[in-house]
Amino acid sequence: MSRLRFDISMSLDGYVAGPNASVDVPLGEGGEQLHEWIFGLASWRDPHGLEGGETGPDDAVIQESLEATGAVLMGRKMFSGGQGPWADDPNRDGWWGDDPPFRKPVFILTHHARETVTYANGTSFTFVTDGIESALEQAREAAAEKDVSIGGGADAAQQYLAAGLVDELELHVVPVLLGGGVRLFDRLGGSPPLLELTRVVDSPTVTHLRYGAIR
Amino acid sequence: MSRLRFDISMSLDGYVAGPNASVDVPLGEGGEQLHEWIFGLASWRDPHGLEGGETGPDDAVIQESLEATGAVLMGRKMFSGGQGPWADDPNRDGWWGDDPPFRKPVFILTHHARETVTYANGTSFTFVTDGIESALEQAREAAAEKDVSIGGGADAAQQYLAAGLVDELELHVVPVLLGGGVRLFDRLGGSPPLLELTRVVDSPTVTHLRYGAIR
């Protein structure tokens, strides 16, 4: 059965978004620092329609993750645009444009039923209204032999973590202190999973820590 | 001038002690998992009067830190025994016994003036009542060419971090999720320091992440 994994950029003090997020500052104050390391990478630029880019250890981590992923799970706010004024419009097509960078099936956790939307590049958005386990089951079927990845946001990752369903997590730890915002590890409930450190990759700008869950 | 540094064991979700600390569970629920990696090391066993122990990357990190440290800063609760019934007795000699494992001058942040206590092994406890900057100044003088290290607890580290006085921090990230407790990065105030990742050392049980502060 395909594994459930996620990887996410996190500040050293544990935040995946900065404080005081708003329409103008969707990642919160300082939150953009969490993602700067990725924009120059070849593995990020390619699915976003950009040529070139850096290769190296950071790029290899991302490339490997993309290749291993057969389907994506996503929270509804992540899909529809976070803090934007459109975030509460459940019919909005997201902020992903006509060439969404996923190129694989995406399953969105929502309370609002909609028809599946498909794109020429292989991306599809399927809206799942009957809970995180159902979404995972559908994503596993779509992923076949590959992994299912949680594409964000933090609340979706927290729900799967709290339910004990995550097989692997990889944190991209960025050397900044945000001092506030959205913590990744929050609302985990009473019995957090046991973890095993399985890989460390580091570069001057980010440290990739991979953990497996021990059942 | 000698640098101010600290190193501390932290769970992956950012805690340096578990939830519900008490007399019987001084490190909080699950908190002992943060420190298990260190007790078997030769560099830990030696100053605690024990022979033998493991060598390897974890041991080298601790050994290097001990050798670089010329004086120690410590919060009063850390000195006097954390959650114990004695913690509020400012005259208690701490829980360190007759052979405290520091073997160098220790400066304790307190509101209660006391005479300095000295031990045959080179440890001294000096009680500083006029604030963190005064304590740092005294520790720097005692450390001469070596570093000043913050020996804990989290509140002392937080005060020095918030004041922008820390030159280097090294986190020993342990692959556990505690789900609650005392967070290291808390109450940092409005402008946390910029950081630069300067070294990564990893072993199967713990990841040592060293950061320098950029002024």
Around A93, how many Cα atoms within 13 Å sit in the side-chain half-sphere? 11
In chain B, residues 159-188 whose CB comes closer than 8 Å to chain A: 171, 173, 175-179, 183-185, 188
Q: A195–B13: do the CB atoms touch at under 8 Å? A: no
H/E stretch holding B107 reads strand B105-109
Each residue's pLDDT tens digit, B83-108: 555 555 656 666 677 888 999 999 99
Token pair recorded at residue B210: 């060293």
Looking at chain A, which residue has its C-alpha nearest residue B184?
A: A13
Residue A46 sits at φ, ψ, to 5 deg, of: -55, -55
Tell me the DSSP string of A51-115.
Answer: ---B-SHHHHHHHHHHHHEEEEEEEHHHHHTTTSTTTT-TT--TT-TTS-TT-SEEEEE-SS---
Please answer whether residues B173 and B15 qualify as being in contact, where contact means their C-beta atoms are separated by less than 8 angstroms.
no
| Range in A6-20, A124-138, B14-28 the model is least confident about | B14-28
Around A24, how many Cα atoms within 13 Å sit in the side-chain half-sphere? 2
Interface mutation target, options B160, B168, B170, B185, chain A, most CBs of A under 10 Å: B185
Which residues, other chains included, contact A63 with Cβ-Cβ below 8 Å and sequence gap of 6+? Answer: A42, A43
Q: A211–B179: do the CB atoms touch at under 8 Å? A: no
- Read off the pLDDT of each residue in A159-186 and give the average, rounded to a whole number: 92
Tell me the DSSP string of B2-70.
Answer: PPEEEEEEEETTSEEE-SS--SSSTT-TTGGGGTHHHHTBHHHHTTTT----B-SHHHHHHHHHHHHEE
B50 interface with A at CB cutoff 8 Å:
no
Q: How confident is the model at residue A90 (pLDDT cuts 50, 70, 90)?
A: low
Quote the pLDDT of residue A215: 63
Rounded to an integer, what distance in angstroms lies between the CA atom of residue B197 and that of residue B170? 10
Quote the pLDDT of residue B15: 94
Rounded to an integer, what distance in angstroms lies between the CA atom of residue A18 and that of residue A32? 8
Which residues, other chains included, contact B168 with Cβ-Cβ below 8 Å and sequence gap of 6+? Answer: B3, B4, B5, B6, B147, B198, B210, B211, B212, B213
In 3D space, the residue among A198, A195, A194, A189 whose CA is nearest the CA of residue A163 turns out to be: A189
Q: B188–A179: do the CB atoms touch at under 8 Å? A: yes
Rounded to an integer, what distance in angstroms lies between the CA atom of residue A198 and that of residue B150? 30
Each residue's pLDDT tens digit, A139-149: 999 999 999 99
Question: Which whole-number Å values give the CA distances from A86 to A18, A19, A55, A125, in the listed order?
Answer: 20, 20, 35, 17
Which residues, other chains included, contact A141 with Cβ-Cβ below 8 Å and sequence gap of 6+? Answer: none
The reply to whether ipTM tops 0.85 is: no
- List CB contacts (< 8 A) between A28 and chain B: none
Q: Work out the minimum CA distance from A213 to partner chain B, whole angstroms.
A: 10
Rounded to an integer, what distance in angstroms lies between the CA atom of residue B68 and that of residue B112? 30
The label of the residue with tokens 């440890």 reads B123
Quote the pLDDT of residue B193: 74
Q: How many CB pairs under 8 A join A and B?
A: 82
In 3D space, the residue among B161, B182, B188, B189 whose CA is nearest the CA of residue B82 turns out to be: B182
3-state percent helix, strand, coil for chain B, nearest multiple of 5: 25, 30, 50
Q: Select the more confidently predicted residue: A190 or A93.
A: A190
Quote the pLDDT of residue A121: 93
B120 interface with A at CB cutoff 8 Å:
no
Rounded to an integer, what distance in angstroms lies between the CA atom of residue A62 and that of residue B187? 33
User: What average pLDDT does the structure give for chain A?
Assistant: 89
H/E stretch holding B155 reads helix B154-162
pLDDT of B5 over the 80 cut:
yes
Each residue's pLDDT tens digit, A50-61: 999 999 999 999
CB-closest option in B175, B195, B196 to A195: B175
User: What average pLDDT does the structure give for chain B?
Assistant: 89
Please answer whether residues B78 and B151 qualify as being in contact, where contact means their C-beta atoms are separated by less than 8 angstroms.
yes
Q: A195–B171: do the CB atoms touch at under 8 Å? A: no
- How many beta carbons lie within 10 A of that of residue A70, not counting itself? 19
Please answer whether residues A34 and A207 qualify as being in contact, where contact means their C-beta atoms are separated by less than 8 angstroms.
no
Please answer whether residues A210 and A199 qualify as being in contact, where contact means their C-beta atoms are separated by less than 8 angstroms.
yes
B204 Ramachandran zone, left/alpha/beta (phi>0; psi -120 to 50): alpha
- Virtual CA dihedral for B85, B87, B93, B94, nearest 10 degrees? 100
Q: B197–A179: do the CB atoms touch at under 8 Å? A: no
